[in-house]
Chain A
Amino acid sequence: MRVVIAEDLFLLREGLSRLLTAHGFEIAAAVDNGEDLLRALLDQRPDVAVVDVRLPPTFTDEGLRTALEARRRIPGLPVLVLSQYVEQLYARELVADQSGGVGYLLKDRVFSDDQFIEALRRVARGGTVLDREVISKLLGRHAQDAPLGALSPREREVLALMAEGRSNSAIAQALFVSEKAVSKHSTSIFAKLGLAPSDDDNRRVLAVLTYLNS
């Protein structure tokens, strides 16, 4: 799987390259600023890109804007955005085009490399991955509302994991329950929220996010 890395700090860029190579990724390009990133994304057409939000020359949200720009030109180009902080505003902008293949994670998540690599593969397959901090804030905002309040604690856990973009089997693993139980919970959640059930993981995430963002 070919990957483009954009990270301005040398140590982190090298660390990411080493980590991804160790897990069988091929580094198509490793760049340190927004302009090079856009060029690399358009020229290399990687299977997935790992992009730091803050990049030179502006040292603002250059990485995010470049990623969005590249996705405008190549719809559905899979991009995983990493950041020292997560903002719901940025998460919204990333998932806004509804085409999937996006991820938004805290940089810390790289520490647990198995989960990070799994998330990266999911993004490359066209899935949506959101950091659990984004999701917990989203859920917190609606905690007192009628339909969400009606969910059982277990259903809320399942909903949070679903919103992060995990598949039924990943949720089952995380909660130590059977996949069948998870699918039962998800049916019940979708019924309570009045959403059309979907087996497609990505469409499910987008439905949940649209619901929570409304």
Chain B
Amino acid sequence: MGALAHSGGQIAGITMDRTASQRAGLAQGAQMAEWIFLLAYCIGCTVIAVRRQHVQGRPGPGGPARRPGWGILLLPLALMLRVTTGGGALTLLLVLASGALVALAPQATRRVFPYALIGLGLVGLKEVLLSGAAGYSTAFGGDLYGGGAWRDHLLLPEALLFLAAGSYLAIRWGRATPRLTLLVAGRPAGGRGRPGGGSAPRPPWNLLLIPVAGLLAELAQPAWAFGFNGGADLVMVAVVGLLTVAVVLLLPSVAADLAVGGLLALGVYGVATALLWPQIFPRDQDLLYGAVYVTSRPLAVLAGLQGLALIGLALWLAPRALDKRTMALLWPQRASEAELAGRVEQLTQTRAEAVDTAAAELRRVERDLHDGAQARLVAVGMNLRAAQKLITSSPEAASQLLAEAIDSSSRALTELRNLVRGIHPPVLADRGLPDAIRALALDTPLHTETDIELAGRPEPPVESACYFAVAEALANAVKHAGARHVQIHARHDGTMLRIEVTDDGSGGADPAHGTGLRGLERRLATFDGILAVSSPPGGPTLIVIEVPCALSSPKISSS
């Protein structure tokens, strides 16, 4: 980890040499002091991040193994970005902000790092594409890009390398952050889709809005294409970026729609350029569209072709990425067909799984009865028969046998009780889900807070599946997470029953690796329900159970 910060410092050193000689206006001493400060800051942040990582990731008994703190890679990257954008208060701010992020949330920086790499690659790529255009002057003339200078023959390979590495890491690490996927895509990482979504997990198309907003900003605004020319542009870029991220996070369902709409708008703009140039776009104004700097009719046609490509991309994306409600508005027929097909596929799969699960459950019950209660009752019968024979000849031996018979019958009862609890818990039958969950909470050796408000009862099978899911979540919290406090929250919003179980344990739970969570996920899927797990190493673990269902009016009031 220390070596990374060191390499960041080396890049800084090279820049310092060049910029100091090229920018005569800046006093060398002041710049030196700035770099020493930044270097010390970076090293400090790295040390804090590594220490935090170490403390959080320290494996408890049965806890997860420590994961590397990739987040600190953000620091050298921030320094590289500083180099590419050429100094100034904003880039100083960038380094300070990434340092704070690295130190305070080493895990979260994993999510930022790949996208920062991609952004760096895109800036480089744009510079390569535009460098030949007549009248284009770069804003990065004297600065460095990665290991070389702008306009250098290394620029293209470096930009591609950044793009490739960023994309690879985004995909690879994207899977490791279920909470983000859950937040953005509205469904668990690797989990089952909603009704109509088919059984395969769909990619989070709404993330598309981020690159599309970037494209819009780059292509539709000629002034920005020549690099960041001043504070006003930077503020605009920052505002657009923030708005985009806010939309993606807060309104994930409309983000993909906006992205497709944005691509369409861009495409239409390109085609309009080809058709109307130069009447609408006078020659004396800078006009840049994508990789083309429009100065003549043929170049305008090229811009039009690019526009067509974007329109094609938008049309290709539309059926894949658009929100279901938007789809239903635009192509009612197609949306319902696709939904039906996905639904049939999903039902076929969950039905097969439900039958398998039920059969396995029956086999387990049969085995438990055969080896347990049944065998004990046989023993009771034999003991009683023997006692009957001995009762006159040897009353003491008979009494001994009777005591054994009593003991056996008591054990048989205990086993039957546990078996019944595993099939259908009595409190659930008596009182319904809220009281059954409260009873579970009371039986757990943890401090449990329950906040449950349900106006009625779901169908018994749904109730049962939810109950066992909560029971498993609690059992995991006790056994694996070493938790002390658990919170259970349950609500029904009219169409969906949502239960959240949060514990303060060591985290690292993964439904993909054994545990009963996978089986419960299947059981819930029979009712179109989902089970999402967010359990970063170090905790906390959040398990969300969602089942679409209606509540019947309460037959029994629970006091």
Q: Please tell me which one of the listed residues B414, B430, B439, B444 contacts residue A60 in the complex, with CB atoms under 8 A apart.
A: B430
CB distance from B418 to the nearest CB of A (A): 9
User: Given A60-B430, A61-B431, A108-B410, does the pair A85, B420 have CB atoms closer than 8 Å?
Assistant: yes
- The chain A residue with its CB closest to the CB of B412 is A108
User: Which one, B280-288, B340-348, B362-370, B421-429, is touching chain A?
Assistant: B421-429
| Inter-subunit contact A89/B426 (CB<8 Å) | no
Asked if A180 is at the interface (CB within 8 A of a chain B CB), the reply is no
With a CB–CB cut-off of 8 A, which chain B residues contact A143? 445
User: Given A58-B556, A85-B417, A88-B439, does the pair A111, B427 have CB atoms closer than 8 Å?
Assistant: no
Asked if B443 is at the interface (CB within 8 A of a chain A CB), the reply is yes
| Inter-subunit contact A111/B409 (CB<8 Å) | yes
A108 to B417, CA, bound (A): 11
With a CB–CB cut-off of 8 A, which chain B residues contact A140? 445
| Inter-subunit contact A89/B413 (CB<8 Å) | no
Taken residue by residue from 61 to 102, chain A's Cβ proximity to chain B (1 for < 8 Å, 0 otherwise) reads as 100000000000000000000001101111011000000000
Q: Please tell me which one of the listed residues B410, B421, B431, B444 contacts residue A141 in the complex, with CB atoms under 8 A apart.
A: B444
With a CB–CB cut-off of 8 A, which chain B residues contact A13? none
27 of the cross-chain contacts (CB-CB < 8 Å) are A54-B430, A58-B556, A60-B429, A61-B431, A84-B413, A84-B426, A85-B421, A85-B426, A87-B426, A87-B427, A88-B443, A89-B427, A89-B438, A89-B439, A89-B442, A90-B427, A92-B442, A107-B413, A108-B414, A111-B406, A111-B410, A137-B442, A137-B443, A141-B442, A141-B446, A143-B445, A144-B484
| Inter-subunit contact B435/A89 (CB<8 Å) | yes
Beyond the given pairs A84-B426, A90-B427, A141-B445, 16 more chain A to chain B contacts, judged by CB atoms under 8 angstroms and listed by A's residue number, are: A53-B430, A60-B431, A60-B556, A84-B420, A85-B417, A85-B421, A85-B426, A88-B443, A89-B431, A89-B435, A89-B442, A108-B410, A111-B406, A111-B409, A140-B445, A141-B442
- The chain A residue with its CB closest to the CB of B556 is A60
A61 to B559, CA, bound (A): 12
A58 to B426, CA, bound (A): 13
Q: Give how many B residues have a beta carbon under 8 Å from the other chain's beta carbons.
A: 24
- The chain A residue with its CB closest to the CB of B421 is A85
- The chain A residue with its CB closest to the CB of B407 is A111
CB distance from A111 to the nearest CB of B (A): 5
In chain B, residues 80-122, which have Cβ atoms closer than 8 Å to a Cβ of chain A? none
With a CB–CB cut-off of 8 A, which chain A residues contact B406? 111
A88 to B429, CA, bound (A): 16
- The chain A residue with its CB closest to the CB of B436 is A89
CB distance from A180 to the nearest CB of B (A): 32
A93 to B435, CA, bound (A): 12
| Inter-subunit contact B439/A87 (CB<8 Å) | yes
User: Given A88-B443, A137-B443, A140-B445, does the pair A108, B413 have CB atoms closer than 8 Å?
Assistant: yes
In chain B, residues 371-407, which have Cβ atoms closer than 8 Å to a Cβ of chain A? 406
CB distance from B269 to the nearest CB of A (A): 65
With a CB–CB cut-off of 8 A, which chain B residues contact A141? 442, 444-446
- Most A Cβ at <10 Å: residue of B414, B430, B438, B445: B430
- Most B Cβ at <10 Å: residue of A60, A87, A111: A87
With a CB–CB cut-off of 8 A, which chain A residues contact B556? 58, 60
A111 to B413, CA, bound (A): 11
With a CB–CB cut-off of 8 A, which chain B residues contact A89? 427, 431, 435, 438-439, 442
A111 to B443, CA, bound (A): 25
A111 to B439, CA, bound (A): 27
Taken residue by residue from 102 to 125, chain A's Cβ proximity to chain B (1 for < 8 Å, 0 otherwise) reads as 000001100100000000000000
Q: Please tell me which one of the listed residues B417, B431, B442 contacts residue A84 in the complex, with CB atoms under 8 A apart.
A: B417
A64 to B472, CA, bound (A): 28
A58 to B429, CA, bound (A): 10
A140 to B445, CA, bound (A): 6
| Inter-subunit contact A61/B430 (CB<8 Å) | yes
A54 to B430, CA, bound (A): 9
With a CB–CB cut-off of 8 A, which chain A residues contact B439? 87-89
CB distance from B439 to the nearest CB of A (A): 4
- The chain A residue with its CB closest to the CB of B417 is A85
- The chain A residue with its CB closest to the CB of B426 is A85
With a CB–CB cut-off of 8 A, which chain A residues contact B420? 84-85
Taken residue by residue from 129 to 144, chain A's Cβ proximity to chain B (1 for < 8 Å, 0 otherwise) reads as 0000000010011011
With a CB–CB cut-off of 8 A, which chain B residues contact A88? 439, 442-443
A88 to B445, CA, bound (A): 12
Name the 6 nearest CB pairs between A and B, nearest first.
A88-B442, A61-B430, A60-B430, A89-B439, A140-B445, A141-B445
- The chain B residue with its CB closest to the CB of A137 is B443
With a CB–CB cut-off of 8 A, which chain A residues contact B438? 89
CB distance from A66 to the nearest CB of B (A): 13
A61 to B426, CA, bound (A): 9
CB distance from A170 to the nearest CB of B (A): 21
With a CB–CB cut-off of 8 A, which chain B residues contact A111? 406, 409-410
A61 to B406, CA, bound (A): 27
With a CB–CB cut-off of 8 A, which chain A residues contact B429? 60
CB distance from A71 to the nearest CB of B (A): 13
CB distance from A87 to the nearest CB of B (A): 5
With a CB–CB cut-off of 8 A, which chain B residues contact A90? 427
A31 to B414, CA, bound (A): 26
With a CB–CB cut-off of 8 A, which chain B residues contact A58? 556
A93 to B414, CA, bound (A): 24
A87 to B429, CA, bound (A): 13
A101 to B421, CA, bound (A): 29
- Most A Cβ at <10 Å: residue of B427, B446, B559: B427
CB distance from A46 to the nearest CB of B (A): 24
A54 to B420, CA, bound (A): 14
With a CB–CB cut-off of 8 A, which chain B residues contact A93? 559
With a CB–CB cut-off of 8 A, which chain B residues contact A137? 442-443
With a CB–CB cut-off of 8 A, which chain A residues contact B446? 141
CB distance from A88 to the nearest CB of B (A): 4
With a CB–CB cut-off of 8 A, which chain B residues contact A85? 417, 420-421, 426
A108 to B409, CA, bound (A): 9
With a CB–CB cut-off of 8 A, which chain B residues contact A87? 426-427, 439, 442
CB distance from B462 to the nearest CB of A (A): 18
- Most A Cβ at <10 Å: residue of B426, B444, B445: B426
